[in-house]
Amino acid sequence: MKEWLITDTHFDHDNIGVYCQRPDGWMDLILRNWKRVVKPEDVIFHLGDVQVGKGKVLLDLLNDLPGQKILTKGNHDTRSLMWYMRNGFHGAVDVMSYNGVTLSHHPQNSLIGGTDINIHGHVHNSVWLPSKDFHRLLALEYVNYTPVDFSKFVGLARSPLKWKAFVKTWKMITDVSRLKNAKKGGKEDDKGKENHQEIHPQDGVCEAHQHS
């Protein structure tokens, strides 16, 4: 059995591709990667914002994905904890601790006792600086839209040198996205500009967590 982490899948949220510069077919990419790496006997922790748009029934969607699924609710997960447990998750919480880690959707102001880092989602590929030394962002946009090995990610998160190198890649990815956005903005016709008006190329940010 292995343990995995994933976050901010935003299934069926069409605009997330615009807000966060996700590639075409990003939802199918997440589903394929999930099925490729996660086994039925594995456990996968989802750090929230599972599904936003009106698409496939969540229970059917999750039943088609392997692994025992544990949810820490995000701001777009507006149903009750019990609803999520009736609709594909083996467990659902607001915040939890596991193996010395505070797991949450939003970055937390304090740690749960007995933990030393907070792995969270929510921020996506924003230009963002953590407000606490213990914050460790998991952004699906930075891990190739693939669940990450829990123990390996925690090992990375607890190593200052390795984490610093990992964070450095965010800036590279964000800079590329900003450049692509700027070039796209200069070439789009009026209709395209209207469809992409929520993008902020000057910041290279993903605003999905602030929009419906």
Q: Whole domain around residue 20: which residue ranges?
A: 3-210
Q: What's the predicted TM-score (pTM) here?
A: 0.82
CA 157, CA 101: separation in Å to the nearest integer? 10
Q: Tens of pLDDT along 98-119?
A: 999 999 999 999 999 999 999 9
Count CA atoms within 13 Å of residue 147 on its CB side. 26
CATH number reported for the structural domain that contains residue 93 in this entry = 3.60.21.10
Please state the domain count of the chain. 1
β-strand 135-137 against 68-72: which pairing, if any?
A: unpaired
β-strand 68-72 against 91-93: which pairing, if any?
A: parallel
* Contacts of residue 166, Cβ cutoff 8 Å, sequence gap at least 6: 156
Q: Is the pLDDT of residue 201 over 80?
A: no
Q: What is the pLDDT of residue 198?
A: 27
- The mean-pLDDT minimum among 24-28, 117-121, 187-191 falls in 187-191
Q: Which of 104-108, 169-173, 193-197 has the highest mean pLDDT?
A: 104-108
Q: Is the pLDDT of residue 174 over 90?
A: no
Strand partners, 140: none
